Structure 1
Amino acid sequence: MIAFLGLGRMGALMAARLVDAGHKVTVWNRTPKELPGAQVASSPAAAVADADLVVTMLSDPEAVDEVAMAALPGLRPGSVFVEMSTIGPEAVARLRDLLPESVGIVDAPVLGSLKPAADGILVILAGGSPEDLARARDVLTVFGTIRHAGPLGAGAALKLAVMSAIVSAQVLLAENLAYVRALGLDRSDFLDTLSGTALAGMVDRVRPAVESGTPPTGYALGLAAKDLRLASEGPGAAQTVTAAARDRLAEAVSDGLGGQDVTAIFAALLEGPAPGTAAPEAAAPAVLKINPPAVPATNGYYSHATRTGDLLFVSGQVALDEKGQVVGEGDMARQSEFVYANLGRILEDQGSSFDRVLHVRTFVTDMSLLGEHRDVRSRYFTGEPPASTTVEVSRLFQPGLLIEIEVVAAAG
């Protein structure tokens, strides 16, 4: 039996292919979704309880950490965990440390978007031991062609390297087109000329978006921004072109384009002031109210975050799910994991990250449980820590909550 965790646009198509191939599949998604032919589980632990193979297809490293932690109680010894999200090699190593030694693991991010996912022609960049990969191979071939990149983490690393090239090239071409406009040249002449060069494939890929508007979302701009953020960390910090493309995409996310296809960057740059033209007189920085769709909705009395300029103020986050139910009642570590995962999504939505947090304020109802919280926190604040305040309070706004955390951060 296969457990499939994460039914986003890509995940739903991939899980459906497993069902169509005759596999017995149990699915779980943060927002419950039905998948014809599959069983729907109430939790990650319930989904994996009878599974020989577990597949995760999630949005970011924080989501993978959270879901893997929730699945732990149900994982069977001898099962194989196949992580197919784009999360980078460091997150894969963290996942290996989290999972029991008796559970095999393969990192297998994919190249391709919605149509290749539906048609089963994705390219799977797999990392892991030959033994673990052999146990997952029959399932992975349902999704497409496997390229074994090397030991565990190699698939995740190769995915970031490839995305650094592909996405940065698209952002570069978008800037080129804005430059062409400023020069007063004909856009079609420019694209036709490029079509006769080594960039012909890229031109063919983006020309429909340039000439007729942004297509339906296949690869979300917000996910592209996340991928380049991961690709410009650690050894990737030397990639100056990737860093510049990352910042361009982060600006587009801040402008509300995160849910559109990555090719929306062309419209974003072509509709703005042409390079070299006078900018309008600067107005006072706007105050943005931010409620990312990846985070459970508020009760309507507050926003998850506000932003002015490059300053981001994130409201106190607690362990409440979409239905307003406490997650991990009585479990400080579980609640802390949930809270940090939500903080990570809000920060990422605004082109920020935990290493750009300026101040963190933590409220706990029992200071004796602080050690359990610190064990979780240390996985998110890995460098020099930010300014910090921790306060014990008699209670939080809903019974069962043990911790609430708010942050101030530098946005992208």
Structure 2
Amino acid sequence: MEGEKQQQQYYSLTIPLLFSDEKETKAEEQPIAALTNTATTATTTTTGTSSFFNTCFNGLNALSGVGILSVPYALASGGWLSLLLLFTIAISTFYTGLLIKKCMDADPTIRSYPDIGDRAFGKKGRIIVSVVMNVELYLVATGFLILEGDNLSNLLPEMDFDLYGIHVGGKKSFVVIVAAIILPTIWLNNLSILSYISASGVLASVIIVGSILWVGAFDGVGFQEKGKLVNWSGIPSAISLYAFCYCAHPVLLLCFVFCTITYSSMAVVGYLMFGSNVESQITLNLPTDKISSRVAICTTLVNPIAKYALMVTPIVDTIEARFLTFYNTRKFSILIRTVLVISTVLVALALPFFGYLMSLVGAFLSVTASITLPCLCYLKISGAYRRLGFESVFIGFIVFVGILVAVIGTYTSLVDISRQL
């Protein structure tokens, strides 16, 4: 039970994956244990090497998400020079991850990100951090439905049906179907099976990159597109989508290096293959009559279905903690979970713009949660804001840039969404 609880917390990002040499032994207790039985866990976590492996696995899985599908679109939006922004964000989030670790080291009672907000700014800090993270999780889960609808519609363009007299076709029909498939998983109290499936995120990313490379090299697409050096009007969207890729905080440098190489490789390959015509999800550009394309699309479809329940579980826990003291029944719990799924379906149907929605998440929520708030919390907890030195000035500069990116990126994303409505 404890392993399952930790696994849910891991995917919810409520406890950032903060590991260092000093805390490698704690990796034995991390969510990877939920994927194996007790005997196996006891064997695989007895050495420093296996502990390091577990830490790397968790860190890589945290950063291996649907963002990999959007990086070619981000590069096409900003041009070749925008790759520098990807590397800058990677370095920035790595640094803020270290700041979060320092905050946790300062107080052993800190167990989660909201705890850091509470330690820094009291109850208001906890509320702000919790709201930002829960809204981010909610919109990412909504993005999963949009992604599923887009890719299934691409595979099966003729699908449609009638629902209570309302004709539903194309992408919308698949959003509803996928939600119906996902709904029973939300009712589960034991998410260990879903945790096992969703933990394949690292492998899924490798398969997707490999399949798309195969499409370009051997299935007739090629890598002939040249692209633009820089597209200034698309920079806000590019940096917002890059930020979305780094919403987790594994401190291990190896995790950041590997994932940054994967993201940048996918961005370059996708941009060379499709140029400015690349879609917000590169899988939508792939020729569906090729086996390699179908492998990439099917791999893309499986993981979000498993991760949806893990994403919304922290939101459900927050709601239930507030209301189940008065309505402590299984039926009420199922009602809350069902209403939550229905609400994400409605948002996905109303705003079926994956790229723009994820850009909004990246600009407003990921930048805030992964860059701005860690800096502010560290300045307050460490007392560095009282001292005028290189560290405080440098962190202050990061906060300023983070706020600037959040404001401009959010405005741009909202304008893009409004134009599509």
TM range (shorter): under 0.3
Higher strand share: 1
Which protein, 1 or 2, shows the higher relative CO under an 8 Å CA cutoff with sep ≥ 6?
A: 2
Question: What TM-score comes out, normalization by structure 1 length?
Answer: 0.22
